[in-house]
Each structure stands twice: as structure tokens, then as C-alpha cells.
Amino acid sequence: MTEATTELVVVPPVQGEADVLVDAQALDISGPETMGLAIEVREGVKALIAEIESAFRPHIQRANALHKGLCAELNARNAGPRAALGIIDGKIGDYEMARRQAEERERWALVDAQAREAAERREAEAQAAAVISPQQAEDIRAMPLDTFVAPTTSVKRTASASKGVAVSVSYAAELTDLRVLAEYAVGHPNLLALLIGPNQAGLDALVKQLGESFDIPGVRRVPKAPVVRSTRGAR
């Protein structure tokens, strides 16, 4: 693609452009006659908008064509490097996820081992106490396992060995049971709107479909801002 140059385009003002806002603000619709006047002024404003747009449109079309061509060439030149970057990032991410999962498995294995050792330690103390007092043995067995966990070194999390990249892992919520979620949300009113937000698109569709017969508890039918459109020349 040949090198392109850009230059500033100056489009002269259109007659009436400077006064149109003042004229609109001065309108006061109080009856049929002034409504008719407002409609006439509106038609003039629409014609003015069309005239201004027609003055700018050719310049915008040329700029769009230039932008489209440059973007196409940029994407074509970047296609190979971006694909390579995606492959490399995928391999780095896979390695990092595998490393973190291995650490997590090791951590849970340590937690399980600590729990087994604590249970064995509690039972040993209970059996020793049973020689003196059966009730004391039962009291020991009723104590939480945390009391018998021996101090140990936890699994040390290690950062990625490679310098120059940082791998971050984010998490998303996945819905598994809508009914259970709804029950939980009802039991926690402070989280209700966060956990179960309304389906606005669905509610709007029902309002449009049912009209005045729309009647759903907790929701009301309210008007949107009115839309004004031209009917002259419409068939």
C-alpha cells in the first residue's frame, strides 16, 4: 500500500446553522397552532441536518476508505506474529496451570496427612486417658482435630522461574443449580440483587407482548421517553 498523506478538511458553515439551537429553545408549545409551528420548525431543522451531513459525507467516505485499507494491511501484516504470540502464551499458560495444580495437590495431600496424624494422636491420648477415666477419654475424642495438629512446614508456593512474563489466573462463577442459588439468595436479602439480577430483556419483552395486561409482582410497567418521527410523505 502506498504511503498516504492526510490534510485538514474545512467545511464552511451552512446557512441557519448558528441560529437553530436558539430557535428551538424559544419554542413554546401550548396548543394546536404552536404545535403546528413546532412541526414546521422541526422539518426545517431536519433539512438543515441533511444539508450539513451532505457537506461532510464525501470527506468522511474518503477517510473511511483510507482507514479501512490501513486496518486491512495492518491485520494482514500482524496475522503471523499474533498467531505466534497466541501459541507461545498458550504454552506458557498451560505450563503455569500445571505447576499450580501440582502445588495444590501437594497442599491438599499435606492437609489430609495432617488430619490423619491428628486423628491418630487424639485417639492415642484418648486411649491413654481411658485407663484413668472413660469419660475423660470421650471428652478427648470430642475435641476438634485442630487441637492435635502438629506444627509443620506448609507447601511453599513458588513463582514462575522465567523472568519477563507474569502469568495471572482469574476465576469465573459457573451456575450449577439455579434453584439452590435462588434459595440462598432469598435467605440473604443483602445479596439478593447481586446473586439474582432481573432479566431486563425478558421483562421488557413481556411488557411489549402483554401490554396493559402485564401484571407481575415486584415489577411495574413504566413508559419510556417518547419517540418523535416524521409522518409527512410516509406511506
Query: For 96-135, how does the pLDDT look when each residue is reduced to its tens digit (9 = 90+)?
Result: 999 989 999 999 999 899 889 999 999 998 999 888 888 9
pTM here is: 0.57
Query: For 65-108, how does the pLDDT look when each residue is reduced to its tens digit (9 = 90+)?
Result: 999 999 999 999 999 999 999 999 999 999 999 998 999 999 99
pLDDT tier, 7 (very low <50, low <70, confident <90, very high otherwise)? low
Nearest alpha carbon to residue 52 among 15, 82, 5: 15
